[in-house]
Amino acid sequence: MNEKCILTHVFKRDGTFVPYSRQRISNAIYRAAVAMGGRDKDKAESLALLVESIICENYSNEQPPSVEAIQDIVEKVLIEEGHAAVAKHFILYRATQNDKRKAKLSKSTVHSGNIPYQKIYEILVWASDHDLNSVEKMNQRIAMGDFRELCLESDAAYEYDVQAAAELIAEREEKTRIVVVAGPSSSGKTTTTRKLAHYLAEKGMGLVELNVDHYFFDLEMHPVDEFGDYDFETPQALDLPLINQHIKQLLAGEKVMIPEYDFKTGTRKLEQIPMQIKPTDVILIDSLHGLYGDMLDGVDPTTVFKVYIETLLQMKGANGKFIRWTDLRLMRRMIRDEAHRAYDPRQTLTHWHYVRNAELRNILPYINSADYIINGAVPYELPVMRNRLFEHFKQWEADYKDDPRRVDAYLRAKRIREMLESILPVTDESPIPETSHFREFIGGSIYDVH
């Protein structure tokens, strides 16, 4: 290794860390050369040294490269150093390996009923391999000072999912006119949509986002309960007929005027934002109810690619039971809504039964129509939430213990308090990358997500 380069590890697309080795780079170049009739090991080693110098100029142990990034550098060096034939073989080998990976990825959408068993199994294996399948093991890693590595591994696994979805969409580029990113509240749809748009744009696809949040009816039009709380979680809270009409008009090449919704006032203004797409553009939709039939009623289903995202965490708590996905999303929404929607965390807790009822009726039954499923959970969010919310849940548990009207809020507060109590808190959030989709909730994201 170059004297100035102290890189120790790289990560694969599935979030697995592997030791860095220049010898692997040299061997890969040599194998490609042998396939083209070459046998110069010294040349392969000198090229590997050049590759390494570029890697070490651009990456570090704090921000390690991916295997794919290194492969990109190898291709660039081979071409620039006059070894185009070797580069061609190296590229063909990568393409073959990608085809094998895609075949494996296609199995990730296998599920029975509303439960994506195949995907859950893969996540459980990943969690076990990374000592993140239980709170006890995660605590041990945090105590050892592994929080930064934990963040990198978790984000790499998530990025792998998003890139995989992008690749599958790109394969259907000629037919696809609409890409839907759907999933329950606070699963990470907004950042995932931004990342998908980025990856698809890199593949040359023209994307235009249709923000269906602007189609909410005025808040005062939704049902109100005895506490004055509005139920705006159902698909019918959206002007579905207008969404459907605008989508069809856009696909036909017509210009439409999109409404604009103000979340702080709970009011909508019609015909505010002009929108028109080109015949080659793809409409990108991020919506809770993207899989709900009425939104795309009458649209050719073969032109729609549906992505579903959920916090599919596979980690057992101190009580031996798996941590509930809905509890992760509740905590995320508490923090996001307080910061960006003037909504007190206590209100989020007492409103959550509306969220769950709507999910069970109008979101979960449609999982089996998704073309690809992304895991939006990252294990490192738990120690962050322990630091941010634990005292709140203790207070809410005490407040609602004997309130017969708030049984749901009490049970959730008690369950989450017990879970968070067993987790080591993390106060320094700086190791969480700015590109992390978790920053959609805690702040500091480089993406325009609010």
What would you measure as the largest C-alpha separation in the chain, in angstroms? 80
For residue range 12-28, list pLDDT tens digits in order: 766 667 788 888 888 88
Which residues pair with residue 9 across a beta bridge?
19
Q: What is the pLDDT of residue 105?
A: 52
Which residues pair with residue 309 across a beta bridge?
374
Which residues pair with residue 285 across a beta bridge?
180, 210
Identity of residue 55: I
Which residues pair with residue 258 across a beta bridge?
273
- Cα gap 172→156, rounded to integer Å: 25
Q: What percent of the chain has pLDDT over 70?
A: 90
Higher pLDDT pick, 91 / 448: 91
Domain boundaries, the chain: 9-103, 110-442
Residue 34 reports pLDDT greater than 80: no
- Cα gap 254→247, rounded to integer Å: 10
For residue range 334-390, list pLDDT tens digits in order: 999 888 777 899 999 998 988 888 888 888 888 888 999 999 999 999 999 999 999
Q: Give the least confident one: 107-116, 214-223, 272-281, 341-350.
A: 107-116
135-143 vs 381-400: helix crossing angle, rounded to 10: 120
Closest residue by Cα to residue 50 from 68, 24, 17, 25: 25
Residue 248 reports pLDDT greater than 70: yes
Residue 151 reports pLDDT greater than 70: yes
Residue 395 reports pLDDT greater than 80: yes
Q: What percent of the chain has pLDDT over 90?
A: 59
Q: What is the mean pLDDT of residues 421-447?
A: 95
- Cα gap 94→97, rounded to integer Å: 5
Q: Which residues contact residue 202 at a Cβ distance below 8 angstroms, ignoring those fewer than 6 apart?
A: none
Q: What is the pLDDT of residue 342?
A: 73
Q: What are phi and psi of 407, to 5 degrees?
A: -60, -45
Higher pLDDT pick, 300 / 1: 300
Q: Give the least confident one: 70-79, 115-124, 187-196.
A: 115-124
CATH T-level topology, domain 110-442:
Rossmann fold (3.40.50)
C-alpha pair distances (Å), 345 with each of 153, 354, 398, 440 = 30, 15, 16, 16
Higher pLDDT pick, 117 / 228: 117
Q: What is the mean pLDDT of residues 100-117?
A: 58
For residue range 75-96, list pLDDT tens digits in order: 999 999 999 888 888 888 777 6
